[in-house]
Structure 1
Amino acid sequence: MRRSFIAYCLLLILSALSYSFAQEMSSEAARLYNEGNKLAKAGEYTNAIVKYDSALNIEKDFRIYYQKGAAYRKAGNLDSAKTAIEESIKLKPDFEGSYNALGSVYFSMKNYQEAAVNFEKVLQMSTDTTLKSSIKENLAVAYTMLGNEAINNKNNTKAVEHLQKAVENKNYDKAYLLLAKVYSELGDFDKTLAASDSALKFKSTISEGGPYYYMGLAYKGKADLKKAKEMFNKAKGDAAYKKAAEYELSILK
């Protein structure tokens, strides 16, 4: 998911480039800007940034700051990327690509709350259905990460809130699996079963062991020991859940 997440952001870099043909830029600034773009495309990010800075000395243009931010991000300098993209937003606050890029930077910084805030802005601003679909995927991942953080902080109520937002944006298997975990801990076994079912239905990044394991816990909680054993036996075929499932089976004997 992380790789595809980054890919969506790269698509927006191409959309930003299209502005260079849609709006006027002074000829010398445009020349330096386009040279920077060629260098960035070739992976020469440091040299690209030099070109962008030279262009900015001539003209403060949101596109130049945007591409400079993208180059910094590619070079792994997230703080400088954030600063450049924020300058792009100051100059053109209605350009949705900058908010997506900023969300991507925050995600890389592991600041998932700010990532979600910026992705939500793109969703509100954009009329492009393809872009909105991609942003919903980004939001699903960001809210899932927030849900996981809440679980680690033992705040299950907040975890459910974040994970529900995740699956509202996309039927994301990891979010459903975490919901199954949280609901099982809260003792809401019907919701545990529903979330586990959805995790299996939309499975693309997880193995089957997790959903079956939480189904086993749910059936155990509902005193349906036959179904619980059935689910734990399925779960133990997954190396990640084998030990936990076998332990539960030993208790049910």
Structure 2
Amino acid sequence: MKLQKILILVGLTFALSTSLFAQDGKNLDQIQAEIKKRTESLNKKITDLAADSQSGAVTQEEYETKKAEIETEKQKISDLRKIVNAEGEAKRKYNSGLGLMKQKRYTEAIAELEEAVKILPDFDKAYYLAGQCYGVLGDNDGALTNYQSAIQHTENASIRSKAYNAIGNVYKKQEEYGKAIENYDMSIAAQANDNAYIGKGEVYMSRGGDSNVQKAISSFESALRVDPKSTTAAYNLGVANEIVKQFSKAIEAYKIASKRGRYKADANVGLAKAYNALGQHQNALNAGSQALKGKSKRKAECYCELGEANRKLGKKSQAIENFNACAEDGIWKSVAEWGIKVTNDPSLEQN
């Protein structure tokens, strides 16, 4: 598709082998090979014609005919070189845009990427990258337009899948959940990937309710089947199972997420909570202690779980210390104060 569009742009009037346009990632190499082959053949024709002319082996009419054929072949080679040069320039613009994006110079990156698609209107990767830049800048319409263009101009399953997933993310951000799920499904249909399953799961979690949480669990499980090492899928699966009080399953998922990555500390907090719910208080202490070694968004909750574990293990002073630390976060203050009261008067737990 890319090279066919360039052919139109440069006004080529000759037919090339359809193999030149196969979408196998070797288009440019094939054309360069074709140029080399044609050039070698042309040079031989020129040499042979010169020799035949000097020896009188050809008539004047034959000479003029062969000379015209040589000129036609020169033009064909010239047009092929235009294709190579056009794609090369488009790729330079793309690489420039990519570099600017990495420097967080998103507006400048977009300008370069738009130049790339002017040269090569079917440049799917350039559209996709421009969509990402627009998304970072908060221009959802610009992002959607470019992601849709990437889909329209590609035959690459991976790019199609990524673009549909990105569209799903935009709609999820806008809380247009039906459209988000529709695009996540199209992403998965194009190429199974954990990101789209995770996106679907997060949409179901946002909708709330046990039935949606169960759908989220199914989506996160599918994500882990695609990528068993996905800590994002594992952590979200742990949270979802925690919500519906499936604590043993939550522990399985949190263990995966606690091994590495950005959810490591939070996953250990989840483990502490799940272990406490199952009465495994020493395990809860171990997990909570691990959580405090990292940066967790659930730090106050972690202190409450440590307090609960220590309370259940009869470690009153440590429990009160933990609950006091938890109470420093206003959101958890009432929970922590209740924990202190129950620690001081265990009979309250039975009321």
Equivalent residue of 1:32, what SS?
Answer: coil
Which of 110, 120, 123 aligns to 1:33? It is: 123
1:231–1:103 Cα change, 3 Å: same
Q: Is the 8 A contact 1:65 1:87 kept in 2?
A: no
Which of 253, 261, 264 aligns to 1:162? It is: 253
Q: Tell me if 1:86 matches 2:211.
A: no
1: CA distance, partners of 2:341 / 2:148? 65
2: CA distance, partners of 1:119 / 1:24? 36
Q: Is the 8 A contact 1:113 1:142 kept in 2?
A: no
Which of 294, 305, 309 aligns to 1:202? It is: 294
Equivalent positions of 1:115-130 (< 5 A) are 115=220, 117-118=222-223, 121-122=226-227
2: CA distance, partners of 1:105 / 1:144? 13
Equivalent positions of 1:175-194 (< 5 A) are 175-194=267-286
1:149–1:49 Cα change, 3 Å: closer
2: CA distance, partners of 1:99 / 1:206? 29
2: CA distance, partners of 1:141 / 1:64? 22
1:192–1:67 Cα change, 3 Å: closer
What is aligned with 1:129?
none
> What residue identity is the alignment partner of 1:32?
D
Structure 1 alignment gaps of length 5 or more: 1-19, 90-97, 124-135
What is aligned with 1:6?
none
Q: Tell me if 1:141 matches 2:265.
A: no
Equivalent positions of 1:52-71 (< 5 A) are 52=150, 54-55=152-153, 60-62=155-157, 65-66=160-161, 68-70=163-165
1:67–1:237 Cα change, 3 Å: closer
What is aligned with 2:311?
220
2: CA distance, partners of 1:23 / 1:101? 28
What is aligned with 1:114?
219
2: CA distance, partners of 1:141 / 1:151? 15
Cα displacement (A) at 1:244: 2.1
Equivalent residue of 1:73, what SS?
Answer: helix
> What residue identity is the alignment partner of 2:149?
K
> Deviations along 1:132-184, whole A, 9 cap, x unmatched?
xxxx5xx3232222222222222222121221222134462221112111212
CA RMSD of aligned residues (A): 3.6
Equivalent residue of 1:240, what SS?
Answer: helix
What is aligned with 1:51?
149
> What residue identity is the alignment partner of 1:224?
K
**TM-score (norm. length: structure 2):** 0.49
Cα displacement (A) at 1:65: 1.9
Q: Relative to structure 2, which stretch is displaced further, 210-219 or 72-81?
A: 72-81
1:24–1:68 Cα change, 3 Å: farther
Which of 327, 330, 341 aligns to 1:236? It is: 327
Q: Tell me if 1:102 matches 2:196.
A: yes
1:205–1:119 Cα change, 3 Å: same
2: CA distance, partners of 1:107 / 1:146? 9
Cα displacement (A) at 1:120: 5.4
Q: Is the 8 A contact 1:189 1:222 kept in 2?
A: yes
Higher relative contact order (CA 8 A, sep 6+): 1
1:64–1:177 Cα change, 3 Å: closer
1: CA distance, partners of 2:239 / 2:269? 11
**TM-score (norm. length: structure 1):** 0.65
Identity %: 18
2: CA distance, partners of 1:50 / 1:160? 40
1: CA distance, partners of 2:275 / 2:260? 20
Q: Tell me if 1:72 matches 2:162.
A: no
1:23–1:86 Cα change, 3 Å: farther
Cα displacement (A) at 1:79: 3.7
